[in-house]
Structure 1
Amino acid sequence: MARRKHSKDGEGTGSGRPRRSRSRHAGSIAGYATRQGQRWKFQIYAVKDPERPELGETRITRGGFKTLDEAQTALVGALRKKAQNERFQGTVPTIGAYAAEWMKSLRLEASTVQGYEKVIRNHITPALGGIRVDKLTATRIAAHYRDLEKSGRRDQRGYGKPLSANTVNKVHVTLGAILEAALADGLIRVNPAKKKRTVNAPTGSQIRAQRPEIVTWSGPQLHAFLGWNRDIFNDDLFPLWRTIAYTGIRRSEALALRWGDVNFGTGRLSIRRAADVTTRNKAKSTKTGSARVIDLDGETLATLKVYRTKRGSISLDLAQPDAYVFGNDAGAIRSPNEVGRRWTYRVERAQAVVDGLPRITLKGLRHTHATLLLELGEHPKVVQERLGHSTITTTMNIYSHVTPTMQKAAVDRFAAHLDEA
């Protein structure tokens, strides 16, 4: 009798049976006939005892699935459970242990990952880290949020004081993401953080109500500071402050600008990247992940032209298209934190000279740009585009303090129009 030939994957060429994988790691699926019709089964290999891997593996087979899709879904679930058993020695992990594994799986910007790490370290692990993932309830989460709202701060200056609604919301978002991953891994059946009525996380209106008041400069105050900074203080960083004040771009975006991003012919500035605050001399994508182009006024453009010439006098490399506009003398990106400290020092010096000058942060300079444009009646859509907000709603929520001024100007124009009719 002639022997039947077999293909490389072990499938009989004339058997009519479906192809199946023999991978001991990915598992395999096969079909078989029963009196009730075609059925499907899967097979995987898993360690006999996760705590004693030296005992080797055992074969696990599950069958009776009516469709191939059902079998594939079950196989994925079994492989996920196998991975969890191997990672956590066959037991359901605690929130702390699972959060650590979840962090390893993230593929995000370093600054975003750093933010998650801080939230987990300060506001999740201390109170919830020892609870098993499948034992965490919506009621326990709600109680934790109320505790954070009463005495959740962990920084030295405000230790034990109430945590802001915005930070509690960050805890809620982070914990919800961790539990969503646990749900996908088959460790829990529902995500307790999503039980809104019980958890009662801070709302958007609560977050906005607690947001600190934005401090900005008036037009004359901005003019006075820039004049003092250029003519009296003789600041090498004057072009940086001028550019932020007249464009509204973020500190990190300004520090990552290259000369090739400045189009001296059209008077436009391309915002393509931002300085990474977590890694020295490294650029990343902008906050929204997209580039934008904004217009420059003539004097700012002239200031940048003079500054490029000055940089070129130090080294021709510092004036090349790929050189950072506001880099240090070695051509590297300046530290955002260092630049922030330099700004604070200059504002303190200016306060002794300019009467009534409020103290603002470097971000306040960006806010000043937006506020002045809105007070001058510029359309919010233009402000949104210049600042790089993802939506116009973000712009209007941040600068709601300008709305009364806009309304007064609008109603005055409306009345004047009718009077002239």
Structure 2
Amino acid sequence: MSVRKRVSKTDPSKFSWVVDYKDGQGTRRLKTFAKKKDADAFAATAHVEVREGVHVADGASCSVREAGKLWIAARERAGRERTTIAQYQNHLDLHIYPHLGSEKLTSLSVPRVRTFEEWMLDNGRSPAMVRKVLVSLGSLLADAQERGLVARNVIRDLRGGRGASDHRAQKRAKGRLKIGADIPTPAEIRSLIAVLTGKWRPVILTAIFTGMRASELRGLSWDAVDFEKKIIRVYQRADSYREIGRPKSESGEREIPMTPMVANTLKEWRLQCPKGKLNLVFPNTKGGVEGHSYLAHAGIEAAWKRAGIVRDTGQIDEKGPPVIAPKYTGMHCLRHFYASWCINRRSDGGLELPPKVVQERLGHSSITMTVDVYGHLFPRGDDAAELAAAEASLFA
């Protein structure tokens, strides 16, 4: 491996620096630099990489766009869900390709990716979206690394030093889930239940008292509802393309007890539920899979408005009155309520279940996830009344 100066034949005052070396396969490679220090740095790195058998020359690599196509194809062969593949493709098409698509994998560096990250943040991407895009880019580079198209995954170097602390800082800024802000209060739930009618009553009641995800509710079959044992078996879900499949993880398959209100409501609903080949509990009018947006907007969010659980958006309607929006959006707030109901003390109207049982009810993949999200809601056993009782028993 050598570094030599190359003078321009047409203009002797102009010159560059060339690294002349052989890669791991014995193929001669030339790489040109404007500055000698850059050539020396590359030569030192390439020497180590060739010796360790991980060096990839520019000519043996490919562009980010070409690597992206290989990565997507590999994810499809691995059986990833259609919605997951679509999410990966959106990350590529909307974020990665416009800024890095034409660049060689071997040209990517930590400063270059750091600049890309900051560009996304400065142009309206949320920290959560930026994190997801970088995870996808890191997965793409890992796939390319296994194919011998690049020697280094720069995302690991970028995130290794500060990724965890950045994520913790974002969580601190967002704060913990709060009752009355992120989680409906018992009084709000009672107001919501009071206005439920028609097809929305069974699905929203089931969401409140089982904590099932929207995809699980949309894919729930009557075969999974056991009225004799009063349990609901979760073993399938409907994705955003309205296709039925298994839960994303093994822990997603579970049994959830039904309250008397849910069991009685579902028995009544079964008599008028639209019939279809899928035998769904909460289908659309034709018996097929209900759309997620329709369930969220026409179902739960409209019900919040009828119950008067709303917030002022600060905007003014064309006709004059302020624009009112539901205080809570989407179905996930009901899952949060169910978790808090499982956790709360019996004296406060809850079930007071241990963390492991709460994890199983929610279908979390690990107890860590349950404690991270809801740990602050569990009774601490150190409030004034309990401390006084403990002190009294000590001296009894």
Q: TM-score, normalised by structure 1?
A: 0.67
Tell me how far apart the structure 2 counterparts of residues 113 and 395 of structure 1 sit (CA, whole Å): 27
Distance 2:390 2:327 in 1: 37
Q: Which residue of 2 aligns with 1:379?
A: 354
Matches within 5 A, 1:154-303: 160-161=123-124, 163-196=125-158, 200-201=162-163, 203=165, 204-211=167-174, 214=177, 215-229=182-196, 234-277=197-240, 279-280=241-242, 282-289=243-250, 290-303=252-265
What is the Cα deviation at residue 210 of structure 1?
4.1
Gapped regions of structure 2 (runs ≥ 5): 1-52, 312-325, 346-351
- CA deviation after TM superposition for structure 1 residue 235, in Å: 2.7
Q: Distance in 2 between matches of 1:410 and 1:333?
A: 47
Q: Which runs of 5+ in 1 are unaligned?
A: 1-73, 152-159
Mapping 1:260-409, distance limit 5 Å: 260-277=223-240, 279-280=241-242, 282-289=243-250, 290-311=252-273, 317=275, 323-342=279-298, 343-351=300-308, 358-376=327-345, 377-402=352-377, 406-407=379-380
Find 2:116's aligned residue among 123, 136, 144: 144
Alpha-carbon distance in 2 for matches of 1:409, 1:417: 9
Structure 1 pair 189–359 and aligned structure 2 pair: CA distance change class (3 A): closer
Q: Is 2:378 the partner of 1:417?
A: no
Q: Quick one: distance in 2 between partners of 1:374 and 1:267?
A: 21
Q: Hey, what's the Cα distance between the residues in 2 that align with 1:168 and 1:196?
A: 13
1:105 alignment partner in structure 2: 74
Contact kept in structure 2, 1:270 and 1:292, CA below 8 Å: yes
Distance in 1 between residues matched to 2:305 and 2:334, nearest whole Å: 15
- Letter paired with 2:187: P
1:176 maps to amino acid: G
Moved more, 101-110 or 410-419: 410-419
C-alpha deviation, 1:285, in angstroms:
1.6
Name the SS for the 1:189 alignment partner.
coil
Distance 1:339 1:197 in 2: 38
Aligned length: 311
Distance 2:310 2:104 in 1: 60
Per-residue deviation, 1:164: 3.2
Partner of 1:9: none
Paired with 2:174 and 2:164, the residues of 1 have a C-alpha distance of: 13
The correspondence for 1:92, drawn from 55, 61, 64, is 61
Q: CA deviation at 1:139?
A: 2.4
Query: Secondary structure at the residue paired with 1:407?
Result: coil
User: Which amino acid is the alignment partner of residue 105 of structure 1?
Assistant: A
Deviation at 1:298, TM superposition (A): 1.5
Distance in 1, matches of 2:259 and 2:63, equals 57
Query: Helix, strand or coil for the counterpart of 1:378?
Result: coil
Residue 95 of structure 1 and its aligned partner are, at CA, apart by 0.8
Matched-pair contact (CA < 8 Å) for 1:165–1:202 = no
Is the CA contact (8 Å cut-off) linking 2:61 and 2:150 kept in structure 1?
Answer: no
User: CA offsets per residue over residues 306-332 of structure 1, 9 Å max, x none?
Assistant: 111223xx6xx55x9x61011123221
Percent identical pairs in the alignment equals 25
- Contact kept, 8 Å, 1:257 with 1:325, in 2: the verdict is yes
Deviation at 1:114, TM superposition (A): 1.3
Counterpart of 2:380 in 1: which secondary structure?
helix
The match for 1:15 is: none
Q: Distance in 2 between matches of 1:389 and 1:144?
A: 33
Measured at CA, do residues 167 and 335 of structure 1 come closer, stay the same or move farther in structure 2, by a change above 3 Å? same
Change (3 A) 1:334 1:198: closer
For 2:238 and 2:222, the matched residues in 1 are separated by 15
Query: Aligned partners of 1:244 and 1:198: how far apart in 2?
Result: 39
| CA 212–362 in structure 1, closer or farther in 2 if over 3 Å, else same | farther
Residues 61, 104 of structure 2: 8 Å contact kept: yes
Does the 8 Å CA contact 1:183/1:190 hold for their aligned counterparts?
A: yes
Q: Once the 2 structures are TM-superposed, how far is the Cα of residue 378 of structure 1 from its aligned partner?
A: 2.8
Distance 2:385 2:140 in 1: 52
Letter in 2 for 1:169: R
Report deviation, 1:283.
Answer: 0.8
Question: Are the aligned partners of 1:258 and 1:324 in contact in 2 as well (CA < 8 Å)?
Answer: yes
- Measured at CA, do residues 323 and 409 of structure 1 come closer, stay the same or move farther in structure 2, by a change above 3 Å? farther
1:3-14 mapped onto 2 (5 Å cutoff): none
Distance verdict in 2 for CA 1:409–1:223, change over 3 Å:
farther
Q: Which has the larger radius of gyration?
A: 1
Cα distance in 2 for partners of 1:137, 1:167 equals 21
Distance in 1 (CA, whole Å) between partners of 2:110 and 2:135 is 14
Deviation at residue 148 of structure 1 after TM alignment: 2.6
TM-score, structure 2 as length reference: 0.71
